[in-house]
C-alpha cells in the first residue's frame, strides 16, 4: 500500500495523525510530494520524521525557496529566513536539491504540474490544463500545491490526483489530508483529525508575526483568511 503525502509544511502533529492512519490501513511505502518544512512550527522535526519512512521524495516550490527565492512573495521572506535558521544549511541544501519529479509504472509524481512547481490544476477543468501537462502523457498524474484534495479526468484521459495537504488543508476541512493507493492501483482520498488549533498556536509562537497567515490558514482551512 502506497501513501501519498503532500504539503506537510512543518506541521508535525498533522503528519503524525496521517502516519497513524496510513499505518492502520497497512501503508508500507510513501511518496512525498514536496513542501516539507516552511510555515510550520516543527520544520526540522518534520523532516527527521519523514526520513524514517520508506519513501521517495520530490521538491516543492517552498523547498526550492529555501535557496532560490526569485519568485517568492516578499511577505514570506521572514518565514523563509526563520525556517532556514531552524533547519540548518545541510538540510536546506538537501531539500532544495531534491528532484522535481519521479515516476513509476503507475504514475508521474510532481509537485504542482509537469510544467511548473507553482502552477497547478484546479478541481474543475480549465483551458490551462493541456498547457500544464507540458506534453507529459502518464496514465495518472499525482500533484499537490493547491492544498485541495480531488480526483478528476485530465487532458488525453490522464487521471489527475491531488491528495490534498497534510499540514495546511485549504478546502474548508481542517483535518489533515492524504491519499492511499492499493496494490490494484485504486486511489482513496483520506482525512485524519488532529488538534489543528494547537498547531496554529505553535506556529505563532515559533514564527512570530511571520506565522500569522499560516496559523490562520490552519485554523480556517481557507486560503483567503480573514
Tens of pLDDT, residue by residue over 103-116, are: 999 999 999 999 99
Tens of pLDDT, residue by residue over 42-80, are: 999 999 999 999 999 999 999 999 999 999 999 999 999
pLDDT of residue 73: 95
Query: What's the pLDDT band for 226 if we cut at 50, 70, 90?
Result: low
Tens of pLDDT, residue by residue over 124-136, are: 999 999 999 999 9
158 secondary structure, DSSP code: P
> Residues 139-145: what's their mean pLDDT?
98
CATH number of 2-220: 3.60.21.10
The residue behind cell 474543475 is 124
Residue ranges of the domains in the chain? Answer: 2-220
CA distance 63 to 202: 21
CB 221 within 8 A of CB 171: yes
Tens of pLDDT, residue by residue over 177-192, are: 999 999 999 999 999 9
CB 172 within 8 A of CB 218: no
> Residues 5-22: what's their mean pLDDT?
98
The residue behind cell 490522464 is 158
Does 225 have pLDDT greater than 80? no
Amino acid at each position: 500500500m502506497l501513501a501519498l503525502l503532500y504539503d506537510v509544511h512543518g506541521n508535525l502533529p498533522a503528519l503524525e495523525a496521517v502516519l497513524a492512519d496510513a499505518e492502520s490501513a497497512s501503508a508500507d511505502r510513501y511518496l512525498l510530494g514536496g513542501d516539507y518544512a516552511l510555515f510550520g512550527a516543527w520544520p526540522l522535526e518534520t523532516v527527521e520524521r519523514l526520513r524514517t519512512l520508506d519513501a521517495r521524495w520530490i521538491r516543492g516550490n517552498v523547498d526550492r525557496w529555501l535557496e532560490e527565492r526569485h519568485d517568492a512573495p516578499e511577505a514570506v521572506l521572514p518565514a523563509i529566513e526563520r525556517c532556514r535558521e531552524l533547519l540548518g544549511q545541510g538540510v536546506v541544501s538537501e531539500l532544495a536539491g531534491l528532484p522535481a519529479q519521479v515516476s513509476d509504472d503507475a504514475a508521474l509524481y510532481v509537485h504542482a504540474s509537469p510544467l511548473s512547481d507553482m502552477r497547478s490544476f484546479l478541481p474543475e477543468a480549465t483551458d490551462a490544463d493541456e498547457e500544464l501537462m507540458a506534453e507529459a502523457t502518464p496514465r495518472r498524474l499525482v500533484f499537490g500545491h493547491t492544498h485541495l484534495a480531488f480526483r478528476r479526468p485530465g487532458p488525453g484521459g490522464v487521471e489527475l490526483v491531488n491528495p490534498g495537504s497534510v499540514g495546511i488543508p485549504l478546502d474548508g476541512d481542517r483535518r489533515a489530508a492524504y491519499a492511499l493507493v492499493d496494490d490494484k492501483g485504486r486511489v482513496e482520498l483520506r482525512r485524519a483529525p488532529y488538534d489543528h488549533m494547537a498547531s496554529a498556536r505553535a506556529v505563532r509562537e515559533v514564527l512570530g508575526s511571520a506565522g500569522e497567515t499560516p496559523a490562520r490558514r490552519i485554523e480556517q482551512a481557507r486560503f483567503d483568511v480573514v
